[in-house]
Amino acid sequence: MSRLSALFQKQSTRVLNVYCTAGFPNLNSTLEVMESLQANGANIIELGMPYSDPLADGEVIQSSGNVAIENGMTIEVLFDQLKTMRQTIHIPVVLMGYMNPILQYGLEDFCKKAKAVGVDALILPDLPLYEFEHLYGKTIQEHGLDFVFLVTPETPEDRLRKLDALSTGFLYAVSSSATTGKDKDFSKVALYLQKLQAMQLKNPVLVGFGIKDKDTFNAVCTYSNGAIIGSAYINALSKGNSVSETTAQFLKEVLN
Amino acid sequence: MHLFNKTINYQNPSAEGYYGDFGGAYIPEMLYGNVETLKKQYLEIMQDPAFQEEFHALLKDYVGRPTPLFYAERLSKEIGANIYLKREDLCHTGAHKINNTIGQILLAQRLGKTKIIAETGAGQHGVATATVCALKGMECVVYMGEKDIERQAPNVARMKMLGATVVPATSGSKTLKDATNEAIRAWINEPSETHYIIGSVVGPHPYPDMVARFQSVISDEMRKQLKEKTGSELPTHVVACVGGGSNAAGAFYHFLNEETVELVAVEAAGHGVHSGMSAATTQLGKPGILHGSKSILMQTADGQVVEPHSISAGLDYPGIGPLHAFLYESKRGTFTSATDEEALDWAFHLSKIEGIIPALETAHAFAVLPRLNLKATDNVIVCLSGRGDKDLATYMQAMETKKY
């Protein structure tokens, strides 16, 4: 059983997935950040591979990516850092990134190495359904990696069912059509999530975009299996001094 | 000579927007609804007779089309071939860009949109968009790199005078590529009431095809006008500069499936193709994905998009439209380049021998004429995509420091 399936079998509510950018705040802080997240209660780590033109992300995540790129982070460096990851990290790790750097690295090689270091799944926001089905999805699946699609309140039902059918691990419900790091109207989000619940999807649903603190986390957890926090944590990391103290403080505020 | 493949229809991408391996719609799910609506409706709307009538009426009475096809006598003599100039510089707002913005504003109206967003580099597309928004009474927001806002003050002023809001793109390298990212993000954040007018044959399907079709009026007119002048609709060569590639797409469009016509695309070599300060995408780039489509892209070995360089802001783009990537790969197009210095030389030369001050972008297209090994019987059309008013500051500086 995959790590993600095992997690959701054990815990079906309040699953917390925290996003961090590889190579941020420092080139070699990647594992330290991941270990701190695990130690302080995160259930999944979404590790972002920095890209110069991250269309689906807001300012906060893009600037952390720019810092990481300047720090020297590349896919090759990242896989080297992750070689020993599974000695200390036991929770699921999802790589998030954009297609271009992966295509330059070579998709097949990328999947092989990701699997080898113990990555569980991929989130690639600019790999849509058609291109997944016809061009790239097979390679990802053949290497035993889960693939998580994004769905939004505007995704039509038949398409949503198809995205759910093709996703493994979980489904990423974008709280509203927006980039990361924007504030949301949570009454609308609640209606949307209730609609998703009623659809009896194959995958657990984690909600992302606009989840930033205890209140927003609690609000979406009522109607889903959990949530993803990104920009708010990156903000905290940018301001904090020590990774472990910042992470402990941040997750304490979200979870308690 | 190029290898012409008769089995390929170069005009039409596949249903999913692919020209060979290039194109597609690599967009996040948040944009799916908007792009899908556009994909389902653009052909139907564009082919509606009422739409065509309104589009062509505006092109005629507002833009000033058809633009002349001018036989450049002195230039022809010098080059040793018949050189015709397609005078897109005479369009309202000074360049071909408005052909596309007229088309897209009419399309946006029919889609029930109330707000327009656009990206711009040098400001030409921004001005053309602000112009049609003023014409149709639509709200207009133009994203422009912070650095470009500093460099292109007159166009920023024009956009503001036309009632547009100019929003500085402060992310990344603060130029066209980042203005495009910001515009796409703005579209993600307020999709239902907003239409995004992309200025070139780039972006997710259906934009490359849609913009090429709106710009194809250029080659449609070329065929008719050349026939009047020479008895034949077909030139031997069509030459155009290429950044994203919208004037080239428009100039090539009705010749794409005519195997005898050599299509010459001129990229900006900047300080020289291998100087590290260049925007010659097909020479320096590799296949990759940027701004929603797969194409050829200037990037680092790790797949980060690099900032190109050209003296002309309109060619200063790290990618190229997927149609052009396909023309390059299939060898249907001849891709070449001209440097900053050659472009400057030719801007002054064309001014002196034909009395036409071209845009810096356009000047690149002229610079390659002596290198095409033309024969006296060749009929060559150069797409004179824009006029040089916007580049006067650069030209004045060049006059101070150089021989001109």
Same domain, B127 and B143: yes
pLDDT band at B96 (very low <50, low <70, confident <90, very high): very high
Average pLDDT over residues A111-135: 97
Whether residue B11 lies inside any domain: the answer is no
B396 has pLDDT over 50 = yes
Residues in A closer than 8 angstroms to B24, CB to CB, are: 130-131
Provide the 3-class DSSP secondary structure of residue B263: strand
Q: Where are the beta strands (DSSP E) in B250-368?
A: 262-270, 286-290, 293-297, 333-339
pLDDT band at B1 (very low <50, low <70, confident <90, very high): very low
Q: What is the ipTM of this complex?
A: 0.94
B160 has pLDDT over 90 = yes
Q: In the numeric block, which tokens belong to residue B397?
A: 């500086």
Residues in A closer than 8 angstroms to B290, CB to CB, are: 53, 100
Q: Structurally, how many domains does chain A consist of?
A: 1
pLDDT band at A180 (very low <50, low <70, confident <90, very high): low
Question: Catalytic: which of A57, A120, A146, A164?
Answer: A57
Q: In the numeric block, which tokens belong to residue A75?
A: 């896919």
- A47-51, B2-6, B145-149, B311-315: segment of lowest average pLDDT: B2-6
What's residue B38's pLDDT? 96
Is residue A148 within 8 angstroms of chain B, CB to CB? Answer: no
Whether residue B83 lies inside any domain: the answer is yes
Q: Which of B302, B305, B306 to mutate to test the interface with A (most CBs of A within 10 A)?
A: B302
Give the separation between CA A244 and CA A32, rounded to whole angstroms.
8
Same domain, B252 and B311: yes
Same domain, B138 and B235: no
Whether residue A73 lies inside any domain: the answer is yes
Whether residue A57 lies inside any domain: the answer is yes
Same domain, B281 and B327: yes
Q: What is the tens place of the pLDDT at every residue in B100-119?
A: 999 999 999 999 999 999 99
What's residue B3's pLDDT? 55
Q: pTM of this prediction?
A: 0.96
Chain B residues with CB within 8 Å of chain A CB:
16, 24-30, 32-33, 171-172, 177-178, 181, 184-185, 188-189, 191-192, 286-292, 297, 299, 301-305
Contact assessment for residue B363 and residue B350, using Cβ atoms and an 8 Å cutoff: yes
Same domain, B310 and B239: yes
pLDDT band at A178 (very low <50, low <70, confident <90, very high): low
What's residue A181's pLDDT? 64
Q: What is the tens place of the pLDDT at every residue in B319-337?
A: 999 999 999 999 999 999 9
What's A128's domain CATH number?
A: 3.20.20.70
CB distance B288–A103 less than 8 Å?
yes
Same domain, B397 and B359: yes
What's residue B147's pLDDT? 86
Contact assessment for residue B98 and residue B65, using Cβ atoms and an 8 Å cutoff: no
What's residue A187's pLDDT? 80
Q: Structurally, how many domains does chain B consist of?
A: 2
What's B370's domain CATH number?
A: 3.40.50.1100
Tell me how close the Cα of B192 comes to any Cα of chain A, in angstroms: 10
CB distance A155–B32 less than 8 Å?
yes
Of B189, B204, B219, which residue sits at a domain end? B204
Whether residue A256 lies inside any domain: the answer is no
The number of helix segments (H) and strand segments (E) in chain B equals 16, 14
CA B66 → CA B57, B87, B99, B302, B351, distances in Å?
11, 9, 11, 46, 23
Same domain, B259 and B393: yes
Closest CA to A49 of B171, B301, B287, B303: B303
| Residue in B16, B29, B177 closest to A174 by CB | B29
B286 has pLDDT over 60 = yes
Domain with A170 in it: 13-246
Residue B16 among the catalytic residues: no
Residues linked to residue B142 through DSSP beta bridges, in sequence order: B118, B166
| Residue in A105, A125, A179 closest to B303 by CB | A105
Instruction: Dump the DSSP string for chain A.
Output: --HHHHHHHH--SSEEEEEEETT-SSGGGHHHHHHHHHHTT-SEEEEEPP-S--TTS-HHHHHHHHHHHHHT--HHHHHHHHTTHHHH--S-EEEE--HHHHHHH-HHHHHHHHHHHT--EEE-TT--HHHIIIIIHHHHHHTT-EE--EE-TTS-HHHHHHHHHH--S-EEEESSSS-TT----HHHHHHHHHHHHHTT-SS-EEEESS--SHHHHHHHHTTSSEEEE-HHHHHHHHH-S-HHHHHHHHHHHHH-
Is residue A92 within 8 angstroms of chain B, CB to CB? Answer: no
Residues in B closer than 8 angstroms to A74, CB to CB, are: 302
CB distance B32–A152 less than 8 Å?
yes
Contact assessment for residue B56 and residue B66, using Cβ atoms and an 8 Å cutoff: no
Average pLDDT over residues B125-145: 97
Same domain, B179 and B52: yes
Taking residue A25's Cβ as centre, other Cβ atoms within 10 Å add up to: 20
Handedness of CA B334, B387, B310, B291 (dihedral sign): negative
Whether residue B21 lies inside any domain: the answer is no
Average pLDDT over residues B359-379: 98
Residue B259 among the catalytic residues: no
Whether residue A5 lies inside any domain: the answer is no
Q: What is the tens place of the pLDDT at every residue in B181-217?
A: 999 999 988 868 999 999 999 999 999 999 999 999 9
Tell me how close the Cα of A150 comes to any Cα of chain B, in angstroms: 6
Whether residue A31 lies inside any domain: the answer is yes
Question: Between the CA atoms of A26, A32, A33 and A39, what dihedral angle is there, to the nearest 10 degrees?
Answer: -170
Domain with B260 in it: 64-95+211-401
Q: Which of A27, A49, A52, A76 to mutate to test the interface with B (most CBs of B within 10 A)?
A: A52
How much of chain A, in percent, has pLDDT values that exceed 90?
89
Same domain, B102 and B88: no
Average pLDDT over chain B, rounded to whole?
Answer: 95
Whether residue B3 lies inside any domain: the answer is no
Whether residue A251 lies inside any domain: the answer is no
Whether residue B10 lies inside any domain: the answer is no
Same domain, B294 and B149: no
Whether residue A165 lies inside any domain: the answer is yes
Tell me how close the Cα of A101 comes to any Cα of chain B, in angstroms: 4
Residues in A closer than 8 angstroms to B177, CB to CB, are: 53
Same domain, B74 and B120: no
Same domain, B232 and B269: yes
Whether residue B120 lies inside any domain: the answer is yes
Whether residue A252 lies inside any domain: the answer is no
| Residue in B24, B25, B33 closest to A154 by CB | B33
What's residue A197's pLDDT? 96
Residue B385 among the catalytic residues: yes
